[in-house]
Amino acid sequence: MRPELRVLVVEDESSTRQEMAALLEDMPEVSEVLVAPNGATAVRLLGTRTIDAAFLDILMPGLDGMDVARVLTVMSDPPSIVFVTASEAHAVEAFGIGAVDYLLKPIRPERLAEAVGRIAQLRNPSGHSSPAEDLHVVQIDTGRRTVFVKRDDVQFVEAQGDYVRLHTADGTHLIRLSLSYLEEVWAAAGFVRVHRGFLIAIPWVRDLRVTSSSGLVAGTPAGDVPVSRRHGRHLRSRLLEAAKRDQLGRSATARPSGTAKEQP
């Protein structure tokens, strides 16, 4: 594979910064690694260099990773963002900004390689197969067994820290992927963001209703999904379009698995 990615590591801990840079330099997808010890230095670098991906430590003095990410998102051609932190506390906010991945310290080389591979695939989707085709069936290894979950069986997706939970008629499945990544690769299959922590499959939606506890929710056979005010109008539009095309009304033979709780 010809190396193409120019990446930036923003990390205030010297040892972690050096370790990440060394790991990234050895990856076949990466052509250049830039480093910055703080957010201010990173922003100055961004004014002079074009990068494809930024690995951002969240907790830093001065401009933190979230601040730098907000600068990146307003660029005309923003790089892919991966947050690196020791805590899961900021996961929902990170994916709300549009992060491709969320890595927990200490960084495991295989997780870093997974994030880089995901970025390379997203930024160069013209290979032999698209990300969406690769995830038509999701393989989940639980240690003792391997489960294969069809994308079309997934009714909604819930962000849970460094993972997402896939909700189907037969139960739920936890897999280490980001919500933003699935939003990107499953968009063509009818998955839309309805909340900062949830995606829903349009064909599985039965109704929209207002509840006293969660506000607006979208009902699916697998449970109710909270819909934020920001995403409500878009969801109604997509449902109307799907109804006109007779693309609503998938049924599930299993009993509902419960009600999804809104993320804080």
pLDDT digits (tens, 9 = 90+) for 178-226: 888 888 889 888 999 999 999 999 999 999 999 988 899 999 999 999 9
How confident is the model at residue 255, as a pLDDT? 42
Whether residue 19 sits in one domain with residue 77: yes
**Residue 43 amino acid letter:** V
Q: Is the residue at 176 inside a domain?
A: yes
Please report, for residues 49, 56, 57, 61, 186, the alpha-carbon distance to residue 16 in angstroms, rounded to integers and kept in the order given. Answer: 23, 12, 10, 16, 33
**249: in domain:** no
Give the residues of the chain that fall short of pLDDT 70: 1-3, 92, 94, 124-135, 141-144, 162, 251-264
How far is CA 176 from each of CA 28, 104, 114, 264, rounded to the nearest angstrom?
22, 12, 10, 20
Classify residue 206: in a domain, yes or no.
yes
Q: State how many domains the chain has.
A: 2
Residues 137 and 87 in one domain: no
Question: Which residue type, as a one-letter code, is found at position 258?
Answer: G
Query: Do 114 and 159 sit in the same domain of this protein?
Result: no
Domain that holds residue 80: 5-123
The CATH number covering residue 237 comes to 2.40.50.1020
Give residue 128's pLDDT: 40
Which pLDDT does position 87 carry in this prediction? 77
Q: Are residues 95 and 162 in the same domain?
A: no
Asked if residue 262 is part of any domain, the answer here is no
Shared domain for 135 and 222, answered yes or no, is: yes
Whether residues 67 and 158 share a domain: the answer is no
Answer yes or no: is 199 within a domain. yes
What pLDDT sits at residue 198? 96
CA distance 58 to 245: 44
Q: What does pTM read for this prediction?
A: 0.51
233 and 140 co-located in one domain: yes
256 within some domain: no
* The domain boundary residue, chosen from 93, 123, 153: 123
